[in-house]
C-alpha cells in the first residue's frame, strides 16, 4: 500500500508540486531593536515563542514558520472604522438594544417593482419610503384586501392566510377603503429603517449606487464589497461556508465591477468542505453577471481531512446509511467534530496585499443582519499584514493543488483528505499570490503579529492541538500576563455539551476528558496560580438558535469554574506541569473564585435577549412570522474570538479556544491606541452588561458552591 501511495505522489503534476513547495518571498530578518522598542512584553513573548519555542519548547511543524503560518508587521494602518463590531452601532453607543431590521421584499404583490431582487431590499428616495405604513384588512370570510398609504386597494381572492401579508410597519385599516367592519391585522408600531446609498449595488464605475431601505450592520457587507472592488490584480476570500443573501450579492457585484472595469484579477475563494453543495454552482452564481470573455478569473476550493482511525472506527456504523462518497465522509465528520476532523475555518478577505478583513465573522444574512444578530468581531487593516494573509492561503491552496481529480479516491483512502476545486479558467490551480514590489504599500505605525494554523491540512488531525502556531502564540500571551486576561469566546468547553447532559450517564469531567486536556483551560488555571485575574464571557447556554444555528455547546459558567477546580486538583494526574501546586481543595476553590469570573453575553444590563417588541413590534404578529424578520433565537449568541492580556495586546481572529483542530487565522495587535479603542467600543460596555449574569455575587458564595459540587 505505501508503494502505491509513493507511486501516486510521483505522478503528481510538477506544476502542483512546485506550487505547493514554493517558499514565500524571501523575508528580511526581524529587526531586534524594533522587537524590544515597539512591542510590549506580551508581543515580545509571542515572537520569542514562535522563533525559538521559549515557552513550550516546540518547533515549527509541517508548513509552519515565519512567512507561512506567522509574520510581524510594524507598519499596519487602522482606519477610523477599523473595528467591525456587530451588531454595528449598538454596543457602547446607544441606550438600549433596539435594532433596525430591514424589511424584505421577496416578490409580494405590493411593491415588486421597487425591490432589488438580489438584496431583497426595497429601493427608496427618502426614509418615508422605508417606513411607509400599510394595513391588511379582512372583508367577509373569503376575501382579503390591503390598503397602502395612497389609499389604493388591492384584493387577493380566496381564503388566504392573513399573516402572509403582515408587515412590522403596518397601521390600522381605513374603513373608507376596506368597508365597515374590517378588522386590522397590524398595529401603529413601526421599525425605523434608513434610506441610504448602498455601495454594494454598484457594478460600473460610472453607476450611481442604488438607495435601499437598509437595516442594522449593512456597513458590514459594504466593507466586504469595497475591499474586493478595490483590487487591481488579486483577491482572496476565505470562510467556513459560502456567503448568503446580501453578502453573496455584494461579492457578486464586486466581481462584476472588476470585470466591467477591465481589470485582470485573480480571485480565490476557499471554504471548508461542504459535500452537499456544488462548488461549480457557487462559482457560476458569483460570476452570473459576467460574460464568457473576461479578465477576472475565479477559483473556488474546499477541503477537509478526517482522521484515518476515525474512518476505520466509524465505517461499519455509517456505511450503508449514506449515499455517495461525499455524504459518507460528511457523516463521519458530523459524528467527530473536535475528534479528529479538520477543515478551513479562517475568515479572510484580502485585496492586492494592501487591505485585509479578518476576524470571526461568517458572511451569513440570518446570523448577522436580522432581528437576533450574533455578537462578533472582525478588523479592517491596511499594509503588509494583508500580504501575509495571501501567503497564508497560498499554503492551503498549494495543498489543494497537489490533489488532481484522478487521484481523488486515493487521497481519500490513504490520507483521509477530501478536496475539490472549480475554476473559471479550467485549470485546477489558481495562480499563487506574489506581491507586486513596484506598488506602494501603505505604511502606518501599528505593530501586528499575524498568526495562523493549518489544523489537519498536512496530516491527520489529533483530537486536540496545542502545538501549532496560533496555539503557541496564545500560550505565550497568557504566560506573559502580569495582571489580567480578558476573553470573549463562544465557549470554552468541548463540543457536545447539550447531548452529553441529555444522556443517562452524564459526567462533566468524563465528557471533557474525551477530547483530551483543554490547553486553554490549562493556561487559564496556570494564570490563576500566579494570581492573575481572568474574565471570560461566553455565549448564552440554552440559547434557541432556530434557523440561525447554535452558538453554544451547552457549558455554563458554573461548569467552567468547576472544571478549573478539577484541573488544579489533578494537574499531576493530567500530566500538566503548568498546573502543579500544593494547594488543598478548599484553597483551590478559593483561588478560582477570587480570580476567575465567567459570565454569559449581554449587551445591556437587564437585557438578556433581543426584546420581542423590538424584534416583532406588532402585537398580532407571531414570533416566528418571517415577515417581521424574526427567528426563534432571542438570547444573545456570541461568536467573537477575542483575547487580551494586561490591556497591552489583544487577538481578534477565527481561532476558538474549545477543542477543534481547524485551520485558523487572526491578528495580534500590540498598540496602545488600538487597546483603548477595544476597551471603549467593545470590552468595557460588554463586560459591564454581562457581569450582571455572573452566577455568583461573592467569592464566599462561589467557594461554597464549588466545594459542594459532586465529583461527577
For 487-496, how does the pLDDT look when each residue is reduced to its tens digit (9 = 90+)? 999 999 888 8
> Comparing 72-86, 292-306, 362-376, 533-547, which segment has the lowest mean pLDDT?
533-547
Distances (CA, A) of 491 to 344, 543, 695: 19, 13, 16
Q: What is the per-residue pLDDT for 325? A: 45
Q: What is the per-residue pLDDT for 621? A: 35
| pLDDT greater at residue 630 or residue 296 | 296
Q: What is the per-residue pLDDT for 693? A: 86
- Write out the three cell numbers for 303: 477541503
Indicate if the pLDDT at residue 498 is higher than 90: no
> Comparing 27-36, 122-131, 572-581, 648-657, which segment has the lowest mean pLDDT?
122-131
Ordered by start, the domain boundaries in the chain are: 2-88+217-440, 112-194, 491-610+623-638+671-708
Q: Which residue has the cell 517558499?
A: 23
Distance, in Å, from the CA atom of 188 to the CA atom of 209, rounded to the nearest integer, reads 32
Q: What is the per-residue pLDDT for 137? A: 38
Q: pLDDT for 523-575, tens place per residue? A: 999 999 999 999 999 998 865 544 445 788 889 999 999 999 999 999 988 88
335: confidence class by pLDDT, cuts 50, 70, 90: very low
Q: pLDDT for 211-246, tens place per residue? A: 998 988 999 999 999 999 999 999 999 999 999 999
Q: Which residue has the cell 479578465?
A: 295
> Comparing 91-105, 205-219, 358-372, which segment has the lowest mean pLDDT?
91-105
Outline where DSSP puts E strands in 57-157: 70-86, 115-116, 121-122, 135-139, 143-147, 153-156
| pLDDT greater at residue 619 or residue 592 | 592
Q: What is the per-residue pLDDT for 603? A: 84
Residue pair 297/266 in contact (Cβ under 8 Å)? The answer is yes
Pairing of strands 596-600, 135-139: unpaired
Residue pair 429/270 in contact (Cβ under 8 Å)? The answer is no
**What percent of the chain has pLDDT above 70?**
71
687: confidence class by pLDDT, cuts 50, 70, 90: very high
Q: What is the per-residue pLDDT for 442? A: 66
Residue pair 232/265 in contact (Cβ under 8 Å)? The answer is yes
Segment 127-151 mean pLDDT: 45
Distances (CA, A) of 508 to 581, 586, 710: 23, 20, 10
Q: Identify the CA nearest to 20 among candidates 4, 9, 28, 5.
A: 9
Per the prediction, the chain carries an average pLDDT of 77
Contacts of 331 (CB under 8 A, 6+ apart): 314, 318, 321, 322
> Comparing 111-120, 294-303, 483-492, which segment has the lowest mean pLDDT?
111-120
Indicate if the pLDDT at residue 273 is higher than 60: yes
User: Looking at the DSSP assignment, which residues form a beta bridge with residue 71?
Assistant: 450
Q: What is the per-residue pLDDT for 323? A: 44
Contacts of 125 (CB under 8 A, 6+ apart): 195, 211
DSSP secondary-structure letter at 597? E
> Comparing 185-199, 272-286, 385-399, which segment has the lowest mean pLDDT?
185-199
Distance, in Å, from the CA atom of 373 to the CA atom of 385, rounded to the nearest integer, reads 29
Q: Which residue has the cell 421584499?
A: 105
Segment 41-70 mean pLDDT: 87
- Write out the three cell numbers for 117: 431582487
Q: What is the per-residue pLDDT for 113? A: 54
Residue pair 77/383 in contact (Cβ under 8 Å)? The answer is yes
Distances (CA, A) of 351 to 231, 254, 484: 5, 12, 36
How large is the C-alpha radius of gyration of the chain?
Answer: 27
Indicate if the pLDDT at residue 651 is higher than 90: yes
Most trustworthy range by pLDDT among 450-459, 496-505, 576-585: 576-585
Neighbour count for residue 56 (Cβ, 10 Å): 15
468: confidence class by pLDDT, cuts 50, 70, 90: confident
Q: Identify the CA nearest to 550 among candidates 614, 497, 510, 623.
A: 497
Indicate if the pLDDT at residue 152 is higher than 60: no
Indicate if the pLDDT at residue 629 is higher than 60: no
- Write out the three cell numbers for 686: 460588554
Segment 322-347 mean pLDDT: 56
| pLDDT greater at residue 28 or residue 61 | 28
User: Looking at the DSSP assignment, which residues form a beta bridge with residue 485?
Assistant: 534, 645
Helix (H) or strand (E) holding 351: strand 348-351
Segment 498-523 mean pLDDT: 82
User: Looking at the DSSP assignment, which residues form a beta bridge with residue 375?
Assistant: 638
Contacts of 553 (CB under 8 A, 6+ apart): 490, 491, 493, 494, 495, 496, 497, 498, 658
| pLDDT greater at residue 557 or residue 371 | 557
Q: Which listed CATH number (3.30.70.1140, 3.30.870.10, 3.90.1150.200, 3.40.50.2300) goes with 2-88+217-440? A: 3.30.870.10
| pLDDT greater at residue 234 or residue 81 | 234
Q: What is the per-residue pLDDT for 53? A: 87
Residue pair 160/180 in contact (Cβ under 8 Å)? The answer is no
Coil, strand or helix at 197: strand
| pLDDT greater at residue 366 or residue 95 | 366
pTM for this predicted structure:
0.84
Distance, in Å, from the CA atom of 388 to the CA atom of 66, rounded to the nearest integer, reads 10
Q: What is the per-residue pLDDT for 634? A: 65
User: Looking at the DSSP assignment, which residues form a beta bridge with residue 378?
Assistant: 84, 359
132: confidence class by pLDDT, cuts 50, 70, 90: low
Indicate if the pLDDT at residue 79 is higher than 70: yes
Amino acid at each position: 500500500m505505501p508503494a502505491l501511495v509513493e507511486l501516486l505522489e510521483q505522478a503528481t503534476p510538477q506544476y502542483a508540486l512546485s506550487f505547493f513547495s514554493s517558499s514565500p518571498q524571501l523575508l528580511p530578518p526581524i529587526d531586534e531593536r524594533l522587537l524590544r522598542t515597539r512591542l510590549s512584553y506580551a508581543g515580545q513573548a509571542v515572537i520569542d515563542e514562535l522563533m525559538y519555542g521559549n515557552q513550550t519548547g516546540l518547533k515549527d511543524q509541517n508548513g509552519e514558520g515565519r512567512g507561512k503560518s506567522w509574520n510581524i508587521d510594524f507598519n499596519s494602518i487602522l482606519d477610523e472604522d477599523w473595528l467591525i463590531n456587530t451588531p454595528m452601532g449598538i454596543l457602547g453607543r446607544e441606550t438600549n438594544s433596539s435594532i433596525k431590521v430591514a424589511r424584505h421584499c421577496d416578490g409580494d404583490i405590493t411593491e415588486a417593482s421597487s425591490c432589488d431582487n438580489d438584496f431583497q431590499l426595497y429601493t427608496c428616495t427618502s426614509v418615508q419610503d422605508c417606513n411607509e405604513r400599510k394595513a391588511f384588512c379582512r372583508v367577509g370570510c373569503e376575501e382579503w384586501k390591503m390598503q397602502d398609504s395612497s389609499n389604493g386597494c388591492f384584493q387577493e381572492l380566496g381564503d388566504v392566510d392573513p399573516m402572509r401579508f403582515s408587515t412590522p410597519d403596518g397601521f390600522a385599516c381605513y374603513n373608507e377603503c376596506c368597508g365597515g367592519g374590517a378588522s386590522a391585522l397590524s398595529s401603529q408600531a413601526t421599525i425605523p429603517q434608513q434610506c441610504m446609498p448602498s455601495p454594494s449595488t454598484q457594478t460600473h464605475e460610472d453607476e450611481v449606487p442604488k438607495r435601499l431601505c437598509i437595516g442594522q450592520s449593512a456597513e458590514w457587507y459594504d466593507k466586504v464589497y469595497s475591499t474586493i472592488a478595490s483590487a487591481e490584480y488579486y483577491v482572496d476570500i476565505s470562510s467556513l461556508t459560502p456567503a448568503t443573501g446580501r453578502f453573496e450579492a455584494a461579492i457578486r457585484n464586486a466581481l462584476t465591477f472588476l470585470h466591467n472595469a477591465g481589470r485582470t484579477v485573480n480571485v480565490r475563494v476557499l471554504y471548508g468542505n461542504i459535500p452537499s453543495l456544488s462548488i461549480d454552482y457557487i462559482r457560476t452564481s458569483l460570476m452570473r453577471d459576467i460574460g464568457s470573455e473576461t479578465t477576472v478569473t475565479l477559483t473556488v476550493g474546499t477541503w477537509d481531512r478526517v482522521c484515518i482511525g476515525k474512518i476505520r472506527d466509524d465505517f461499519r456504523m455509517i456505511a450503508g446509511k449514506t449515499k455517495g462518497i461525499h455524504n459518507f465522509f460528511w457523516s463521519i465528520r458530523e459524528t467527530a467534530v473536535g475528534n479528529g476532523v479538520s477543515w478551513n475555518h479562517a475568515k479572510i478577505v484580502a485585496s492586492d496585499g494592501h487591505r485585509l478583513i479578518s476576524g470571526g465573522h461568517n458572511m451569513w444574512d440570518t446570523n448577522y443582519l436580522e432581528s437576533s444578530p450574533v455578537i462578533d468581531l472582525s478588523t479592517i487593516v491596511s499594509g503588509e499584514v494583508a500580504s501575509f494573509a495571501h501567503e497564508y492561503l497560498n499554503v492551503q491552496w498549494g495543498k489543494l493543488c497537489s490533489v488532481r481529480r484522478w487521484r481523488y479516491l486515493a487521497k481519500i483512502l490513504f490520507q483521509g483528505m477530501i478536496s475539490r476545486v472549480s475554476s473559471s479558467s479550467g485549470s485546477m490551480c489558481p495562480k499563487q499570490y506574489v506581491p507586486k514590489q513596484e506598488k506602494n504599500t501603505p505604511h502606518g505605525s501599528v505593530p501586528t503579529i499575524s498568526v495562523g494554523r493549518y489544523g489537519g491540512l498536512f496530516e491527520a488531525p489529533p483530537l486536540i492541538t496545542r502545538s501549532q502556531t496560533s496555539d503557541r502564540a496564545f500560550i505565550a500571551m497568557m504566560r506573559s500576563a502580569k495582571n489580567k486576561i480578558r476573553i470573549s469566546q463562544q465557549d470554552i468547553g468541548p463540543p457536545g455539551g447539550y447531548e452529553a447532559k441529555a444522556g443517562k450517564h452524564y459526567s462533566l469531567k468524563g465528557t471533557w476528558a474525551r477530547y483530551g486536556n483543554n490547553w486553554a483551560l490549562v493556561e487559564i488555571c496556570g494564570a490563576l496560580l500566579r494570581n492573575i485575574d481572568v474574565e471570560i464571557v461566553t455565549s448564552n447556554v440554552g440559547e434557541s438558535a432556530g434557523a440561525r444555528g447554535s452558538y453554544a455547546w451547552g457549558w455554563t459558567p458554573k461548569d467552567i469554574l468547576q472544571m478549573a477546580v478539577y484541573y488544579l486538583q489533578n494537574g499531576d494526574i493530567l500530566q500538566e506541569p503548568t498546573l502543579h501546586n500544593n494547594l488543598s481543595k478548599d484553597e483551590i476553590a478559593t483561588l478560582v473564585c477570587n480570580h476567575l469570573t465567567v459570565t454569559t453575553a449581554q449587551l445591556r444590563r437587564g437585557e438578556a435577549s433581543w426584546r420581542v417588541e423590538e424584534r416583532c413590534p406588532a402585537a398580532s404578529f407571531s414570533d416566528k412570522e418571517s415577515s417581521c424578520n424574526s427567528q426563534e433565537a432571542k438570547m444573545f449568541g456570541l461568536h467573537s474570538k477575542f483575547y487580551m492580556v494586561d490591556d497591552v495586546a489583544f487577538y481578534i481572529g477565527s481561532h476558538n479556544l474549545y477543542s477543534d483542530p481547524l485551520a485558523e487565522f487572526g491578528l495580534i495587535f500590540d498598540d496602545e491606541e488600538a487597546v483603548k479603542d477595544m476597551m471603549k467600543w467593545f470590552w468595557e460596555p460588554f463586560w459591564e452588561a454581562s457581569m450582571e449574569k455572573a452566577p455568583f455575587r461573592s467569592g464566599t458564595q462561589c467557594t461554597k458552591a464549588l466545594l459542594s459540587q459532586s465529583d461527577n
